[in-house]
Structure 1
Amino acid sequence: MSSTTLPSEQNGAWTEAGKQRFVMKCGGSTLAALPESFFADLRDLQAQGIQPVIVHGGGPAISDNLAKLGIETEFVNGLRKTTEAVLDVVEMVLAGSINKQIVRLIQRVGGRAIGLSGVDGGLIQARPVTNHAEIGWVGEVTGVEAPIIQGVVDMGYMPVIAPVGVDVSGQRYNINADTAAGAVASHLGVSRMIVVTDVPGIMKTVRGEKKVLPSVSVQEIEDMIQTGEIYGGMIPKVRAAIACIHGDVREVVIVDGSEPQILSRVLGGEAIGTRIIRMP
């Protein structure tokens, strides 16, 4: 088990409502590529009484399965149009193969996890996005049944949540994973989140050398995109992290999941990765 010492309930910045808990968002493909030690770190945190709640995506796997099934998809302004046929595959991949793969990876190292879809128990309630006529069954979150998540945690399991939402009529919705993670964190009363990626944080060139910015505001990120300091594949990563800043969530830490004991180090207060903060 990890020897990393985490903050006590009295001085721990990550303590919420008398208990240490955190929401972690990660893409399905990123999680699948992480070393076994990452999941061992999750197991050790759980054993120490820390409460991880995981929300995952799975875009590349959805695309792969749509191609295998011969289902063509249309993109509108960079967003996949979610028809009923596409939605069937979204649910199959997110709530099925990706979700259970993550559960297996956690359990293989001795952790305890339960996979959930946002449909289960009406966990993630949703309604159509405003431009649903263009992009189909894509939803925005209207509510989260936080007691279901807390109940799973209280039984000693990590909730692993697939971002598929549902409305009162039973209609399913494809939910952006980052938005879903932010909503889950906000409804749980968690003010900070960890976004696990394959980059060390937001980089900036200082005197000809790329350096990780320890802290940056949402506005500063937008400015850096405009000036070209953030470019290419980093733009969707930072925009995804910004999407997690929702409701009560005021800060997101973006980190490289391949770093040893990255979660324990962040929770222990180490200055690693980039903190993205929403200014008052």
Structure 2
Amino acid sequence: MKDRASVLLEALPYIQRFYGKVLVTKISGSLIEDEKIRNSIYQDLVLLNFVGMKPVVVHGGGSEISREMEKEGKKPEFIEGLRVTDEETIEILHKSLGGKINKEIVLGLEKNGGLALGISGIDGNLVQAEKIESEEELGFVGEVEKINPEIIEYLIDKNYIPVIAPMGADREGNSLNLNADIVAAELASSLNAEKLILLTTVAGVLKDPNDEDSLISKLSLKEAEEMVKKENVTKGMIPKIRACIECVESGVNRAHIIDGTTPHTLLLELLTESGIGTMIEKG
């Protein structure tokens, strides 16, 4: 019994510190596919909401989208990590990313006692974007131009957990496919969030990409920028670190890259002394 009490007491100062604070969490699509993992994440988010924090969720869905493309006879193509997105692929994104995946996350949160509402970046003019002009044809792929956070602020004020699919619209009214890490970072900045948390399938930033014991627990902005500049990390990690750098430079106190496959990873990161994964701060 004493051990249980000590766990709760360890969490108390962190609950006090983050009470009323916005925590933007990006969940990668691969984590959503595992029932046990996703339920653990949903439980964490609901608990954090009930103790007074304000979680906001941005989600991916790459594997599901690729499967739906293949069902339609389309081969997924990527250029520097960005999905080539034609008109047919945009329709699949509306159906899968903004529809099925988004609503399954909402249902999972509500099954665990939370109050959630799912939208895409297109809704409420949330994410204004512009098409990426590239020498290679990416199609309807964009980058964030502006976030209009009013609808999210309204939802969190009403104690909803907003669940956001990373799509946006340009000035011509075209739907655009956006990088979920960047959407989460821009949203965290616009909401003056306390933290940005990127849930991945790796331990965090590693000194040696082949050695999970080489985890770097803390990076200053300068150190993170040097790692990206020297390409000391895997290509898949570079956009995540860049997203963290951008939001911390914009005023978010801390950004985290953590292993979402660890049971109750959010509680361990937020409510314990040791934490897990990699934290990036101004330093």
Asked if Structure 1 and Structure 2 have the same fold, meaning a TM-score greater than 0.5 normalized by the shorter chain, the answer is: yes
Question: SS of the counterpart of 1:225?
Answer: coil
Structure 1 residue aligned with 2:278: 274
Residue identity matched to 2:30: S
Structure 2 residue aligned with 1:5: 12
| Shift in Å, 1:118 | 0.6
| Shift in Å, 1:161 | 0.2
Structure 1 residue aligned with 2:42: 39
RMSD, aligned α-carbons: 2.5
Question: SS of the counterpart of 1:140?
Answer: strand
Q: What 5-or-longer segments of structure 1 have no aligned partner?
A: none
Q: Percent identity?
A: 35
| Shift in Å, 1:133 | 6.6
Structure 2 residue aligned with 1:54: 57
Q: How does 1:162-173 map to 2 (within 5 A)?
A: 162-173=165-176
| Shift in Å, 1:185 | 0.6
Q: How does 1:1-280 map to 2 (within 5 A)?
A: 3=8, 4-7=11-14, 12=17, 14=18, 19-33=20-34, 34-131=37-134, 134-190=137-193, 192-204=195-207, 210-216=213-219, 217-222=223-228, 225-226=231-232, 230-231=233-234, 235-247=235-247, 248=250, 249=252, 251-268=254-271, 270=273, 271-277=275-281
Q: What are the Cα deviations for residues 252-278 of structure 1, in whole angstroms up to 9, with x where unaligned?
A: 211112334322332236332111346
Q: How far, CA to CA, are the matches of 1:211 and 1:73 in structure 2? A: 33
Q: How far, CA to CA, are the matches of 1:120 and 1:6 in structure 2? A: 37
Question: SS of the counterpart of 1:186?
Answer: helix
Residue identity matched to 1:29: S
- Structure 1's 39 and 73: CA in aligned 2 closer, same or farther, altered over 3 A? closer
| Shift in Å, 1:31 | 2.7
Q: How far, CA to CA, are the matches of 2:153 and 2:135 in structure 1? A: 32
The 8 Å contact of residues 252 and 276 in structure 1, kept in 2 or not, is answered as: yes
Q: How many residues are paired up?
A: 264
Question: SS of the counterpart of 2:14?
Answer: coil
Q: What 5-or-longer segments of structure 2 have no aligned partner?
A: 1-6
TM normalised by structure 1 equals 0.84
